[in-house]
Amino acid sequence: MTVGDEKTADPVSTEIKQIIDDVFSISGQKISNDDPIIAVLLYQKQQLAVNRAELEQHDTNFFINLDQRFEKINRHYEEMEKQKSLIVSELIGKNKKLVPELVKEELQKQKPNHEIAFFVVLGILIFTQFLMIVLTIFK
């Protein structure tokens, strides 16, 4: 066989030659072209190729499905982020309204306390003044 003949040779013959070479390189045993094990090895090689193609198709479908799920998760995440922003905005708005009202109420609650404290201090000063006068008189 010449180099040109090998290129146009039957693909099955090329596979058989490859199998014979592989068996020899792995086991050290020489098998012939008409050995029945060649048919089994060719069938096994074909089945492995079919299984590999099916597995690749399954993986492709799996990753497409996974990508679709990730897109759905991302959409839900974005929707939740929008809802979160809306809720935070509403809370900030309500706090801006409530804080001045609460401060005003607290100041009004404390105002009588200031008046009471003023009158208590005034009373103590008047009582102290009265005691000073009494002590000065009875001295």
Type of residue found at 121: V
Residue pLDDT, tens place only, 37-48? 889 998 999 999
Residue 11 maps to a domain:
no
Q: Give a yes or no: residue 29 inside a domain.
A: no
pLDDT band for 8, please (50, 70, 90 cuts). low
* Two structure tokens written together for 46: 């074909």
In terms of Cβ atoms closer than 10 Å to its own Cβ (0-12, 13-18, 19+), residue 23 is: middle
Q: Provide the Cα torsion 94, 100, 106, 109; round to 10°.
A: -120
Residue 66 lies in a domain: yes
The alpha-helical segments, DSSP class H, found in the chain are: 3-7, 11-27, 36-137
49 to 40, 44, 45, 66, 78: CA distances (angstroms): 14, 9, 6, 25, 43
Has residue 3 been placed in a domain?
no
Handedness of CA 113, 119, 125, 128 (dihedral sign): negative
Name the band, by pLDDT with cuts 50, 70 and 90, for residue 76: very high
Q: Is 61 a domain residue?
A: yes
46-59 mean pLDDT: 96
Furthest C-alpha separation in the chain: 148
Number of domains in the chain: 1
Domain that holds residue 116: 35-137
pLDDT in tens, 109-127: 766 667 777 888 888 989 8
* pTM (two decimals): 0.47
